[in-house]
Amino acid sequence: MSFLLKSTPERAEVWKPLFNSALPDLAFHVWPETGDPKEVRFLAVWEPPSDLLTRFPNLEVIFSVGAGVDQFDMSAIPEHVTIIRMIEPGLTEGMVDYVLWATLTLHRDGLTYIAQQKQHIWKARPNLVATQRRVGIMGMGTLGAPVAQALALNGFNCSGWSRSRHTVPDVTCHAGPEELDAFLATTDILVCLLPLTEATHGILNTSLFEKLPKGAQIINAARGAHLVVPDLLEMLESGQISAAILDVTDPEPLPTDSPLWDDPRILITPHIASSSQTETAGRVLLDTVQRYLAGERDFPSKVDRSKGY
Ligand code: GLV
Protein backbone atom coordinates (compact mmCIF):
# COMPACT_ATOMS: atom_id res chain seq x y z
CA MET A 1 0.00 0.00 0.00
CA SER A 2 1.42 3.42 -0.87
CA PHE A 3 0.92 7.20 -0.78
CA LEU A 4 1.93 9.25 -3.81
CA LEU A 5 2.70 12.97 -3.64
CA LYS A 6 2.70 15.06 -6.81
CA SER A 7 3.50 18.55 -5.57
CA THR A 8 6.43 20.85 -4.86
CA PRO A 9 9.91 19.63 -3.79
CA GLU A 10 9.57 21.73 -0.59
CA ARG A 11 6.48 19.81 0.46
CA ALA A 12 8.03 16.46 -0.46
CA GLU A 13 11.06 17.25 1.66
CA VAL A 14 8.95 17.81 4.78
CA TRP A 15 6.04 15.42 4.21
CA LYS A 16 8.03 12.32 3.28
CA PRO A 17 9.94 12.06 6.59
CA LEU A 18 6.79 13.02 8.50
CA PHE A 19 4.83 10.15 6.91
CA ASN A 20 7.74 7.72 7.07
CA SER A 21 8.16 8.12 10.80
CA ALA A 22 4.44 8.07 11.66
CA LEU A 23 3.38 5.40 9.14
CA PRO A 24 6.44 3.22 8.40
CA ASP A 25 4.31 0.58 6.66
CA LEU A 26 2.89 3.02 4.13
CA ALA A 27 5.38 3.55 1.28
CA PHE A 28 5.64 7.27 0.42
CA HIS A 29 6.49 8.05 -3.20
CA VAL A 30 7.30 11.39 -4.72
CA TRP A 31 6.22 11.95 -8.33
CA PRO A 32 7.48 11.07 -10.94
CA GLU A 33 8.64 8.03 -8.95
CA THR A 34 5.47 6.03 -8.17
CA GLY A 35 6.63 2.55 -7.10
CA ASP A 36 4.19 -0.18 -8.16
CA PRO A 37 1.19 1.80 -9.48
CA LYS A 38 -1.20 -0.91 -8.26
CA GLU A 39 -0.11 -0.21 -4.70
CA VAL A 40 -1.07 3.48 -4.79
CA ARG A 41 -4.11 4.03 -2.51
CA PHE A 42 -3.61 7.73 -1.73
CA LEU A 43 -2.67 10.56 -4.05
CA ALA A 44 -2.01 14.16 -2.93
CA VAL A 45 -1.96 16.46 -5.93
CA TRP A 46 -2.99 19.80 -7.40
CA GLU A 47 -3.56 18.62 -10.96
CA PRO A 48 -3.84 14.85 -11.34
CA PRO A 49 -2.23 13.06 -14.30
CA SER A 50 -4.76 12.53 -17.11
CA ASP A 51 -4.54 8.74 -17.10
CA LEU A 52 -5.22 8.69 -13.35
CA LEU A 53 -7.36 5.59 -12.96
CA THR A 54 -5.89 3.39 -15.61
CA ARG A 55 -2.54 4.16 -14.10
CA PHE A 56 -3.53 3.74 -10.44
CA PRO A 57 -6.41 1.24 -10.53
CA ASN A 58 -6.57 0.82 -6.73
CA LEU A 59 -6.66 4.50 -5.81
CA GLU A 60 -9.02 5.19 -2.89
CA VAL A 61 -8.44 8.82 -1.91
CA ILE A 62 -7.35 11.94 -3.80
CA PHE A 63 -6.25 14.86 -1.65
CA SER A 64 -6.17 18.32 -3.13
CA VAL A 65 -3.06 20.09 -1.87
CA GLY A 66 -5.05 23.34 -2.01
CA ALA A 67 -8.41 24.58 -0.78
CA GLY A 68 -10.07 24.29 -4.18
CA VAL A 69 -11.09 21.17 -6.07
CA ASP A 70 -12.37 22.90 -9.21
CA GLN A 71 -9.14 21.93 -10.98
CA PHE A 72 -10.28 18.27 -10.85
CA ASP A 73 -12.37 16.82 -13.65
CA MET A 74 -14.88 15.12 -11.34
CA SER A 75 -16.44 13.18 -14.22
CA ALA A 76 -13.10 11.42 -14.73
CA ILE A 77 -12.92 10.34 -11.07
CA PRO A 78 -15.17 7.35 -10.23
CA GLU A 79 -17.63 7.66 -7.34
CA HIS A 80 -15.78 5.15 -5.17
CA VAL A 81 -12.74 7.45 -5.01
CA THR A 82 -12.98 9.85 -2.07
CA ILE A 83 -11.90 13.43 -2.80
CA ILE A 84 -10.63 15.53 0.09
CA ARG A 85 -10.01 19.29 0.11
CA MET A 86 -7.24 20.93 2.07
CA ILE A 87 -8.61 22.49 5.23
CA GLU A 88 -5.67 23.50 7.36
CA PRO A 89 -4.98 26.36 9.78
CA GLY A 90 -2.09 27.90 7.80
CA LEU A 91 -4.18 28.31 4.67
CA THR A 92 -7.05 29.81 6.65
CA GLU A 93 -4.74 32.24 8.46
CA GLY A 94 -3.26 33.40 5.17
CA MET A 95 -6.70 34.11 3.76
CA VAL A 96 -7.73 36.02 6.90
CA ASP A 97 -4.60 38.18 6.53
CA TYR A 98 -5.21 38.82 2.83
CA VAL A 99 -8.86 39.78 3.16
CA LEU A 100 -8.13 42.03 6.16
CA TRP A 101 -5.41 43.78 4.12
CA ALA A 102 -7.63 44.11 1.04
CA THR A 103 -10.63 45.29 3.05
CA LEU A 104 -8.60 47.89 4.94
CA THR A 105 -7.02 49.04 1.67
CA LEU A 106 -10.43 49.63 0.10
CA HIS A 107 -11.94 50.95 3.33
CA ARG A 108 -9.23 53.66 3.56
CA ASP A 109 -9.37 54.53 -0.18
CA GLY A 110 -5.95 53.00 -0.78
CA LEU A 111 -6.38 52.75 -4.56
CA THR A 112 -7.38 56.41 -4.83
CA TYR A 113 -4.33 57.54 -2.84
CA ILE A 114 -1.98 55.39 -4.95
CA ALA A 115 -3.47 56.96 -8.09
CA GLN A 116 -3.26 60.46 -6.57
CA GLN A 117 0.37 59.95 -5.56
CA LYS A 118 1.26 59.03 -9.15
CA GLN A 119 -0.14 62.43 -10.17
CA HIS A 120 1.35 64.29 -7.17
CA ILE A 121 -2.11 65.17 -5.91
CA TRP A 122 -2.52 66.01 -2.20
CA LYS A 123 -6.23 65.62 -1.60
CA ALA A 124 -7.99 64.19 1.44
CA ARG A 125 -11.17 62.19 1.18
CA PRO A 126 -13.70 61.92 3.99
CA ASN A 127 -12.92 59.08 6.37
CA LEU A 128 -15.36 56.42 7.47
CA VAL A 129 -14.56 54.25 10.46
CA ALA A 130 -14.84 50.47 10.32
CA THR A 131 -18.19 50.38 12.12
CA GLN A 132 -19.65 52.49 9.33
CA ARG A 133 -18.47 50.07 6.63
CA ARG A 134 -20.54 47.04 5.72
CA VAL A 135 -18.49 44.10 4.48
CA GLY A 136 -20.27 41.10 2.97
CA ILE A 137 -18.58 37.72 2.50
CA MET A 138 -19.90 35.37 -0.17
CA GLY A 139 -19.02 31.83 0.87
CA MET A 140 -19.05 31.15 4.59
CA GLY A 141 -17.17 27.85 4.68
CA THR A 142 -13.82 27.04 6.24
CA LEU A 143 -12.26 30.21 4.81
CA GLY A 144 -15.22 32.61 4.76
CA ALA A 145 -16.36 32.09 8.35
CA PRO A 146 -12.97 32.87 9.99
CA VAL A 147 -12.52 35.81 7.61
CA ALA A 148 -15.94 37.20 8.62
CA GLN A 149 -15.10 36.74 12.28
CA ALA A 150 -11.78 38.59 11.91
CA LEU A 151 -13.47 41.46 10.07
CA ALA A 152 -16.12 41.70 12.78
CA LEU A 153 -13.42 41.71 15.46
CA ASN A 154 -11.78 44.61 13.62
CA GLY A 155 -14.97 46.57 13.95
CA PHE A 156 -16.49 46.09 10.50
CA ASN A 157 -20.19 45.67 10.13
CA CYS A 158 -20.01 42.19 8.72
CA SER A 159 -22.46 39.87 7.03
CA GLY A 160 -22.17 36.61 5.15
CA TRP A 161 -24.02 34.75 2.45
CA SER A 162 -23.76 31.09 1.62
CA ARG A 163 -25.71 28.20 0.21
CA SER A 164 -26.56 26.76 3.64
CA ARG A 165 -26.83 28.80 6.83
CA HIS A 166 -23.80 29.28 9.06
CA THR A 167 -23.60 30.87 12.48
CA VAL A 168 -20.71 33.20 13.25
CA PRO A 169 -20.69 35.48 16.31
CA ASP A 170 -21.34 39.16 15.45
CA VAL A 171 -21.92 38.34 11.78
CA THR A 172 -25.34 38.52 10.12
CA CYS A 173 -25.60 35.28 8.18
CA HIS A 174 -27.80 35.02 5.08
CA ALA A 175 -28.47 31.79 3.21
CA GLY A 176 -29.81 30.65 -0.12
CA PRO A 177 -30.86 32.46 -3.31
CA GLU A 178 -33.89 34.05 -1.62
CA GLU A 179 -31.67 35.97 0.83
CA LEU A 180 -29.05 37.08 -1.69
CA ASP A 181 -30.65 40.41 -2.61
CA ALA A 182 -31.01 41.50 1.02
CA PHE A 183 -27.37 40.60 1.62
CA LEU A 184 -26.19 42.57 -1.43
CA ALA A 185 -28.29 45.63 -0.58
CA THR A 186 -26.34 46.06 2.67
CA THR A 187 -22.83 45.33 1.36
CA ASP A 188 -20.34 48.17 0.69
CA ILE A 189 -17.34 45.86 0.26
CA LEU A 190 -18.13 42.48 -1.28
CA VAL A 191 -15.64 39.65 -0.72
CA CYS A 192 -15.92 36.54 -2.88
CA LEU A 193 -14.66 33.35 -1.24
CA LEU A 194 -17.07 30.97 -2.95
CA PRO A 195 -16.05 27.61 -4.34
CA LEU A 196 -16.12 27.55 -8.14
CA THR A 197 -19.01 25.34 -9.28
CA GLU A 198 -21.53 25.41 -12.11
CA ALA A 199 -23.79 27.44 -9.84
CA THR A 200 -21.19 30.09 -9.00
CA HIS A 201 -19.41 30.43 -12.36
CA GLY A 202 -19.81 34.07 -13.51
CA ILE A 203 -21.78 35.01 -10.36
CA LEU A 204 -19.96 38.38 -10.12
CA ASN A 205 -21.83 39.95 -13.02
CA THR A 206 -23.88 43.05 -13.87
CA SER A 207 -27.09 41.76 -12.36
CA LEU A 208 -25.37 41.10 -9.02
CA PHE A 209 -23.36 44.35 -9.09
CA GLU A 210 -26.52 46.36 -9.66
CA LYS A 211 -27.98 45.07 -6.40
CA LEU A 212 -25.08 46.51 -4.38
CA PRO A 213 -25.22 50.09 -3.06
CA LYS A 214 -23.77 52.60 -5.54
CA GLY A 215 -19.98 52.86 -5.30
CA ALA A 216 -19.54 49.39 -3.77
CA GLN A 217 -16.12 47.76 -3.87
CA ILE A 218 -15.15 44.19 -4.76
CA ILE A 219 -12.54 41.71 -3.49
CA ASN A 220 -12.18 38.42 -5.35
CA ALA A 221 -9.91 35.91 -3.62
CA ALA A 222 -11.74 32.84 -4.91
CA ARG A 223 -11.46 32.01 -8.61
CA GLY A 224 -11.12 34.18 -11.72
CA ALA A 225 -14.09 32.49 -13.38
CA HIS A 226 -16.44 33.87 -10.71
CA LEU A 227 -16.05 37.30 -12.32
CA VAL A 228 -17.38 38.50 -15.67
CA VAL A 229 -14.63 41.00 -16.52
CA PRO A 230 -16.53 43.14 -19.11
CA ASP A 231 -19.34 43.53 -16.55
CA LEU A 232 -16.91 44.79 -13.91
CA LEU A 233 -15.32 47.26 -16.36
CA GLU A 234 -18.73 48.57 -17.34
CA MET A 235 -19.77 48.96 -13.69
CA LEU A 236 -16.52 50.83 -12.93
CA GLU A 237 -17.28 53.19 -15.80
CA SER A 238 -20.80 53.87 -14.53
CA GLY A 239 -19.58 54.33 -10.94
CA GLN A 240 -21.80 51.54 -9.65
CA ILE A 241 -18.57 49.82 -8.56
CA SER A 242 -15.78 52.12 -7.42
CA ALA A 243 -12.82 49.76 -6.93
CA ALA A 244 -11.77 46.13 -7.01
CA ILE A 245 -8.95 44.02 -5.64
CA LEU A 246 -8.51 40.84 -7.64
CA ASP A 247 -6.21 38.03 -6.54
CA VAL A 248 -7.49 35.63 -9.18
CA THR A 249 -8.09 35.95 -12.90
CA ASP A 250 -9.18 33.76 -15.77
CA PRO A 251 -6.83 32.79 -17.28
CA GLU A 252 -3.82 32.91 -14.98
CA PRO A 253 -1.37 34.49 -15.39
CA LEU A 254 -3.44 37.48 -16.46
CA PRO A 255 -2.50 38.21 -20.11
CA THR A 256 -0.23 41.25 -20.40
CA ASP A 257 -2.75 43.01 -22.68
CA SER A 258 -5.70 42.67 -20.25
CA PRO A 259 -7.42 46.01 -19.52
CA LEU A 260 -7.49 45.02 -15.83
CA TRP A 261 -3.76 45.79 -15.46
CA ASP A 262 -3.90 49.51 -16.18
CA ASP A 263 -7.13 50.55 -14.53
CA PRO A 264 -6.29 52.67 -11.45
CA ARG A 265 -9.48 51.46 -9.78
CA ILE A 266 -8.23 47.88 -9.87
CA LEU A 267 -5.45 46.28 -7.85
CA ILE A 268 -4.17 42.92 -9.08
CA THR A 269 -2.27 40.40 -6.94
CA PRO A 270 -0.96 37.22 -8.62
CA HIS A 271 -3.01 34.52 -6.82
CA ILE A 272 -1.07 34.86 -3.59
CA ALA A 273 -3.95 35.40 -1.15
CA SER A 274 -3.22 32.12 0.56
CA SER A 275 -1.83 28.66 0.04
CA SER A 276 -1.33 25.52 2.09
CA GLN A 277 1.51 25.96 4.55
CA THR A 278 3.92 23.04 4.39
CA GLU A 279 4.13 22.27 8.14
CA THR A 280 0.49 22.63 9.11
CA ALA A 281 -0.86 21.08 5.90
CA GLY A 282 1.46 18.09 6.26
CA ARG A 283 0.14 17.40 9.75
CA VAL A 284 -3.48 17.67 8.57
CA LEU A 285 -2.78 15.33 5.67
CA LEU A 286 -1.07 12.78 7.91
CA ASP A 287 -3.86 12.94 10.47
CA THR A 288 -6.49 12.38 7.78
CA VAL A 289 -4.62 9.38 6.33
CA GLN A 290 -4.22 7.89 9.82
CA ARG A 291 -7.92 8.30 10.51
CA TYR A 292 -8.80 6.84 7.10
CA LEU A 293 -6.60 3.82 7.78
CA ALA A 294 -8.38 3.42 11.13
CA GLY A 295 -11.68 3.13 9.26
CA GLU A 296 -13.04 6.69 9.45
CA ARG A 297 -14.83 7.80 6.29
CA ASP A 298 -16.70 11.00 7.14
CA PHE A 299 -14.38 13.96 7.00
CA PRO A 300 -15.59 17.59 6.99
CA SER A 301 -13.08 18.12 4.18
CA LYS A 302 -14.62 15.36 2.05
CA VAL A 303 -16.02 16.68 -1.22
CA ASP A 304 -19.73 16.28 -1.74
CA ARG A 305 -19.96 15.43 -5.44
CA SER A 306 -23.54 16.70 -5.66
CA LYS A 307 -22.40 20.18 -4.56
CA GLY A 308 -19.03 20.12 -6.34
CA TYR A 309 -17.01 21.19 -3.27
C1 GLV B 1 -5.66 28.17 -3.92
O2 GLV B 1 -6.26 28.86 -4.67
C3 GLV B 1 -6.20 26.99 -3.28
O4 GLV B 1 -7.27 26.49 -3.72
O5 GLV B 1 -5.60 26.53 -2.31
Asked if residue 308 belongs to a domain, the reply is no
- Whether residues 163 and 217 fall in one domain: yes
- Position 299, amino acid: F
Ligand 1 closest atom vs CA 86: 5
Tell me if residue 232 falls in helix, strand or coil: helix
pLDDT of 139 reads: 98
From the candidates 166, 223, 226, 283, give the one annotated as an active-site residue. Answer: 223
Distances (CA, A) of 304 to 23, 28, 54, 84, 273: 28, 27, 23, 9, 25
- Average pLDDT estimate for 91-96: 98
- Whether residues 24 and 152 fall in one domain: no
Query: Which residue segment(s) compose the domain that 286 sits in?
Result: 2-88+276-293
- Average pLDDT estimate for 33-44: 98
Asked if residue 307 belongs to a domain, the reply is no
pLDDT of 64 reads: 97
68 lines ligand 1 (CB under 6 A): yes
Q: Ligand 1 centre from 276 Cα, in Å?
A: 8
- Whether residues 79 and 97 fall in one domain: no
pLDDT of 50 reads: 84
Which of 178, 160, 182 minimizes the C-alpha distance to 169? 160
Asked if residue 303 belongs to a domain, the reply is no
Asked if residue 195 belongs to a domain, the reply is yes
- Whether residues 22 and 110 fall in one domain: no
Asked if residue 301 belongs to a domain, the reply is no
67 lines ligand 1 (CB under 6 A): yes
- Average pLDDT estimate for 137-144: 97
Q: Ligand 1 centre from 256 Cα, in Å?
A: 23
Ligand 1 closest atom vs CA 223: 2
- Whether residues 123 and 143 fall in one domain: yes
Q: Domain containing 154 — which CATH number?
A: 3.40.50.720
Share of the chain above pLDDT 90, in %: 97
- Average pLDDT estimate for 98-121: 98
pLDDT of 22 reads: 98
Query: Is residue 85 flagged as an active site residue?
Result: no
d(CA 188, CA 177): 19
- Position 201, amino acid: H
Tell me if residue 136 falls in helix, strand or coil: strand
Ligand 1 closest atom vs CA 275: 5
The secondary structure element, H or E, covering residue 137 is: strand 134-138
- Whether residues 256 and 222 fall in one domain: yes
- Whether residues 236 and 286 fall in one domain: no
144 lines ligand 1 (CB under 6 A): no
Could you tell me if residue 170 is left (phi over 0), alpha (psi between -120 and 50 degrees) or otherwise beta? left
Average pLDDT, rounded, for the chain: 97
The pTM for the full model equals: 0.97
Ligand 1 closest atom vs CA 66: 5
Cβ proximity of 160 and 179 under 8 Å: no
Condensed to tens digits (0 to 9), the pLDDT of residues 253-297 reads 999 999 999 999 999 999 999 999 999 999 999 999 999 999 999
- Whether residues 254 and 123 fall in one domain: yes
Q: Ligand 1 centre from 162 Cα, in Å?
A: 19
Query: Is residue 291 flagged as an active site residue?
Result: no
- Whether residues 249 and 117 fall in one domain: yes
- Whether residues 105 and 205 fall in one domain: yes
Instruction: Tell me: pLDDT of 52 over 90.
Output: no
Instruction: Considering only the C-alpha atoms of the chain, give the largest distance between any 2 of them, rounded to a whole number of Å.
Output: 67
- Whether residues 62 and 99 fall in one domain: no
Q: How confident is the model at residue 53 (pLDDT cuts 50, 70, 90)?
A: confident
- Whether residues 171 and 159 fall in one domain: yes
Asked if residue 213 belongs to a domain, the reply is yes
Asked if residue 140 belongs to a domain, the reply is yes
The number of domains in the chain is 2
Q: Ligand 1 centre from 275 Cα, in Å?
A: 6
